[in-house]
Amino acid sequence: MKLSIVATLYQSARYIDEFHARATMAAQTLMGNDYEIILVNDGSPDDSLNIAVALTQKDPHVSVIDLSRNFGHHKAMMTGLDHASGDHIFLLDSDLEEEPELLAPFFEHLVQAKCDVVYGMQEQRKGGWFERWSGHWFYTFFKALTGLALPKNVVTARLMTKRYVSALLRHREREVFMAGLWHITGFDQLPHLVKKHSTSETTYTLRRKLSLLVNSVTSFSNAPLIAIFYIGLSISTLATLYIIYLLVNWLFLEHPLSGWTSVMGSIWLLGGMIISFIGVVGIYLSKIFSETKQRPYTIVRQTYGKQ
């Protein structure tokens, strides 16, 4: 098998037929008849599964992996990649925000550069000011807290060699952050400028982006735990110096002490910091708890088509 095209389905019913037609045309133009299209239904609440299954009856190149529930975009992608058998794997979303026709320029770029990955990168992040602003600060905070400089404004679309995908699938952590895994897997990876269309509203709300930031940082760095240690050490040092000052003031200067407001403020400040620090430790403990259970990425209910 020369080529595998992998895409996930979630509220994708209105895009599937056009996606299939355009992906098929792109694959046939490049690879002839030696390709497969793998669609992963991530518990989509609409009619995506039925439409995709109907395609398997018309086109033997199409196969559908139906997950038992919604596991999330990143885990669904990993499941699709695990089922891909092509020498090259083209991963993209099925909502047509990334054009299936990108396959040809990606493949040309990959062959000329003799690299393992060509990934799509937007010249300017799509969406309104909030989406661009939040995306910028996400990568800024991630780099500051983990030391990993992830490529900015990347899209899902990427063409990968089989050996790269095999290495990527060796990561078995249960809390999956694809952008980080793509980066730390290594190999030669090159960007290709693309224009991402806006066919639907993003499902990544502010709450989900904050959750993703916390998950990604705690998955790739112990910086928050180290910061807690140094902050605690700094507070202890300042407290010790203040105690020395109070003792000197009481023994030699005999100035009346006052400042109940500052005392209460300090109590509230330290109390809040302690609670937040316990919360950070709790996040890491929850990750340890999740990893020790060794639950699978996803559970496949049924596969349709050639598998």
Beta pairing partners, 15: none
Percent above pLDDT 90 for the chain: 33
β-pairing, 189-194 vs 117-122, is: parallel
For residue 48, is pLDDT > 80? Answer: yes
CA distance 269 to 264: 9
- Predicted confidence at residue 262, as pLDDT, reads 60
Single-letter residue type at 19 = F
Convert the pLDDT of each residue in 114-154 to its tens digit: 999 999 988 766 555 556 666 666 667 666 666 666 777 88
User: Is the CB of residue 29 less than 8 Å from the CB of residue 64?
Assistant: no
CA distance 173 to 181: 10
Tell me which residue of 171, 152, 145 sits closest to 81, measured CA to CA.
171
User: Is the CB of residue 49 less than 8 Å from the CB of residue 9?
Assistant: yes
CA distance 163 to 86: 11
Percent above pLDDT 70 for the chain: 72
- Predicted confidence at residue 165, as pLDDT, reads 93
- Predicted confidence at residue 74, as pLDDT, reads 87
Q: Assign 133 to helix, strand or coil.
A: helix
| pLDDT range class, residue 200, cuts 50, 70, 90 | low
Single-letter residue type at 129 = W
Q: Which of 14-28, 74-88, 268-282 has the lowest mean pLDDT?
A: 268-282
Convert the pLDDT of each residue in 78-109 to its tens digit: 999 999 999 999 999 998 888 899 999 999 99
| pLDDT range class, residue 230, cuts 50, 70, 90 | confident
| 179 or 17, which is more confident | 17
- Predicted confidence at residue 241, as pLDDT, reads 74
- Predicted confidence at residue 264, as pLDDT, reads 55
pTM: 0.74
Helix (H) or strand (E) holding 8: strand 3-9
CA distance 69 to 284: 26
- Predicted confidence at residue 91, as pLDDT, reads 94
User: Is the CB of residue 192 less than 8 Å from the CB of residue 105?
Assistant: yes
Tell me which residue of 130, 201, 187, 127 sits closest to 158, measured CA to CA.
187
Q: Which of 103-112, 142-151, 279-288, 291-300 has the lowest mean pLDDT?
A: 142-151
Give the strands of the sheet with 35-41, arranged side by side. Answer: 189-194, 117-122, 154-161, 88-91, 3-9, 35-41, 62-67, 300-305
181: Cβ contacts below 8 Å, ≥ 6 apart = 168, 171
- Predicted confidence at residue 276, as pLDDT, reads 73
CA distance 280 to 214: 10
